[in-house]
């Protein structure tokens, strides 16, 4: 997949995936190969100007990670360290924040979008920085901008933490680590927390906070897929991203009619606003040759493999999860099922439900309590469970 993601798909050629145009900066690539590198190994580091983020110092780190098929890839993360001092003999907390990236182009990845006005959550990073926390922001869609490939995002997130904590110039080697994310960012956050015991057992996570979690991609495809829907562009973009990551199994492009091919080519390097605008009130029935192509067994398997609802692993770190009960985009029942499974396994969970709320209201209301929860974990206060 790393090699495939480096080649842009020719417009109009519908037989295969519509790969993103690679980032032109050589920092994002590794011409020497990755055969000798382990997950989380640092490949290169550069200091960047991040003063706009509350006077923070900034770095970008390229590191080795793993794609959805076990192959090595180059991934990138951005790190902000605030100017506030830490108490003597204390370690500065490290928050790995996985932002919402509803996008398919390289300029939309956080390492770019934090500085080109594409990252809508950028102002929210001031909250943890003002607390004196260092903030790690991985490009969790990977080098191919595989929107929808949530398991991939979990591995990249964990490897980004490995990389950042290994750099002596950042001074974060002994930092307690927390994870945070909402909506699309919650996908990578939740997968990182659940994968950590197996994928990165040497990493000790103080806690994870995740809100508005898209728990079941198969269910979401039914909700916003076939009939015209205002958020259809996001679903279509996720299908483009999953086809990039699973070209042999998630074969959407051969099913597209000419209108679907045009929309796919139009969106294949676009960011959130363009995807929402051009996809609004479309539906799969308008764009495909066969209305039932998503009933294909392999496509369904890919959706389930990237749905945390169906992943048997559970976090050992404390988790704070919040969700709107009336959320029409990320249905509540899947999140409630995850909460019940985590509780049954003995995983320390705090689950907060906003009874009269959809997807956006909890995003605004939930982070203050979520960060207070993490602050307690960073101080070593034992987590209480709502199970």
Tens-place pLDDT, residues 130-161: 999 999 999 999 999 999 999 999 999 999 99
Pairing mode, strands 177-182 and 94-97: parallel
169 alpha-carbon distance from chain centroid = 26
- pLDDT-derived band at 2 (thresholds 50, 70, 90) equals very low
- pLDDT-derived band at 8 (thresholds 50, 70, 90) equals very low
Mind spelling out the 3-state secondary structure of 133-166? CEEEEECCCCCCCCCCCHHHHHHHHHHHHHHHHC
Average pLDDT, the chain: 92
Mind spelling out the 3-state secondary structure of 231-289? CHHHHHHHHHHHHHHCCCCCCCHHHECHHHHHHHHHHCCCCHHHHHHHHCCECHHHHEC
In percent, the amount of the chain with pLDDT more than 70 equals: 95
Tens-place pLDDT, residues 69-81: 999 999 999 999 9
Locate tokens 């933490």: which residue?
161
Does 109 have pLDDT greater than 90? yes
Contact between residue 23 and residue 5 where contact means Cβ atoms under 8 Å apart: no
Indicate the burial class of 112 (C-beta count within 10 angstroms; 0-12, 13-18, 19 or more).
Answer: buried
Q: What is the reported pLDDT for 119?
A: 92
What are the residues whose beta carbons fall under 8 Å from the beta carbon of 175, sequence distance 6 or more? Answer: 91, 92, 93, 94, 134, 165
d(CA 327, CA 324): 5
What are the residues whose beta carbons fall under 8 Å from the beta carbon of 106, sequence distance 6 or more? Answer: 20, 21, 22, 23, 28, 112, 145, 269
In percent, the amount of the chain with pLDDT more than 90 equals: 82
Does 246 have pLDDT greater than 90? yes
Q: What is the reported pLDDT for 368?
A: 94
Q: Which domains does the chain have, with CATH numbers?
A: 4-216+313-378 (3.40.50.1820), 217-304 (1.10.260.130)
Q: What is the reported pLDDT for 4?
A: 35
Q: What is the mean pLDDT of residues 49-71?
A: 96
Question: Is the whole-model pTM more than 0.85?
Answer: yes
Lowest-confidence pick of 64-73, 267-276, 295-304 = 295-304
Structure-token pair, residue 108: 């939309």
């Amino acid at each position: 997949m790393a090699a495939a993601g480096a080649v842009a798909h020719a417009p109009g050629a519908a037989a295969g995936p519509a790969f993103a145009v690679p980032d032109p900066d050589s920092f994002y690539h590794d011409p020497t190969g990755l055969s000798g590198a382990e997950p989380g190994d640092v490949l290169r580091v550069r200091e960047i100007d991040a003063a706009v983020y509350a006077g923070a110092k900034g770095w970008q780190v390229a590191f080795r990670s793993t794609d959805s098929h076990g192959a090595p890839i180059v991934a990138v993360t951005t790190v902000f360290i605030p100017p506030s001092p830490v108490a003597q003999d204390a370690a500065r907390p490290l928050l790995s924040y996985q932002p919402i990236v509803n996008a398919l182009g390289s300029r939309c990845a956080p390492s770019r979008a934090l500085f080109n006005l594409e990252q809508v959550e950028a102002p929210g990073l001031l909250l943890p920085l003002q607390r004196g926390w260092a903030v790690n922001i991985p490009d969790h869609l990977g080098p191919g901008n595989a929107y929808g490939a949530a398991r991939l995002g979990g591995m990249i997130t964990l490897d980004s933490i490995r990389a950042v904590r290994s750099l002596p110039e950042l001074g974060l080697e002994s930092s307690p680590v927390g994870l945070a994310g909402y909506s699309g960012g919650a996908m990578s956050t939740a997968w990182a927390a659940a994968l950590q015991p197996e994928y990165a057992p040497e990493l000790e996570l103080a806690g994870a906070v995740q809100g508005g979690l898209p728990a079941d991609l198969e269910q979401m495809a039914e909700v916003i897929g076939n009939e015209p829907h205002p958020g259809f562009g996001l679903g279509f973009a996720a299908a483009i991203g999953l086809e990039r990551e699973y070209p042999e199994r998630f074969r959407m492009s051969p099913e597209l009619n000419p209108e679907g091919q045009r929309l796919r080519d139009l969106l294949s390097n676009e960011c959130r606003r363009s995807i929402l605008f051009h996809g609004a009130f479309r539906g799969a029935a308008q764009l495909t040759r066969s209305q039932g192509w998503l009933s294909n067994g392999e496509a369904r398997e890919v959706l389930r493999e990237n749905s945390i609802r169906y992943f048997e692993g559970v976090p050992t770190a404390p988790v704070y999860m919040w969700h709107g009960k009336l959320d029409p985009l990320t249905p509540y029942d899947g999140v409630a099922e995850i909460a019940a499974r985590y509780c049954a396994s003995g995983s320390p969970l705090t689950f907060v439900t906003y009874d009269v709320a959809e997807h956006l209201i909890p995003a605004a209301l939930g982070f203050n309590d979520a960060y207070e929860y993490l602050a307690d974990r960073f101080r070593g206060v034992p987590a209480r469970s709502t199970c």
